[in-house]
Amino acid sequence: MEAAGSGAAYFMRGSLFTFSVILVSFSYYTWVAFWPQSVPYQKLGPLGSFSQYLVDNHLEFIRRGYWLAWLIHVGESIYAMILCNRKGITDGWARVLWFLQTFFFGFASLSILLAYKPHHHKKK
């Protein structure tokens, strides 16, 4: 996880493992929310049983939760832009990368930006 430059051009990609887990989880959530009839629940063990229960009894809740999750990601992305301003990240490309990474991976990305401590040089 290299930092691309420092200061104005700061960007750091998150953990490939973490992002892979998020991608698989959100993909499964999308599948269950919009194509529940095609999910092979019986082959997924306890996760399949739990998913089947939720689909049978709370499908509308699952779908609303799906859109709420995306709305939260939009909010986190906007907050990432605010943090870029506060931390002095002014490079346009770095800001776009932070926005996109946070939009798709949420707090897993935002936590990296929150932890970033910019170096402030003292003026003499």
pLDDT for 50: 96
Question: Residue 39 corresponds to which amino acid?
Answer: V
Confidence band (pLDDT; 50, 70, 90) for 79? Answer: very high
Is 85 or 122 the better-scoring residue by pLDDT? Answer: 85
- DSSP readout, 45-76? HHHHHHHHHHHHHHHHHHHHHHHHHHHHHHHH
This prediction has a pTM of 0.80
pLDDT per residue as tens digits for the range 16-55: 999 999 999 999 999 999 999 999 999 999 999 999 999 9
- Is 13 within 8 Å of 104 (Cβ atoms)? no
pLDDT for 33: 97
Spatial CA neighbour of 76 closest among 96, 105, 97, 115: 105
> Whole-angstrom Cα distance, residue 23 to residue 124?
48
pLDDT for 9: 80
Residue 3, beta-bridge partner list: 12
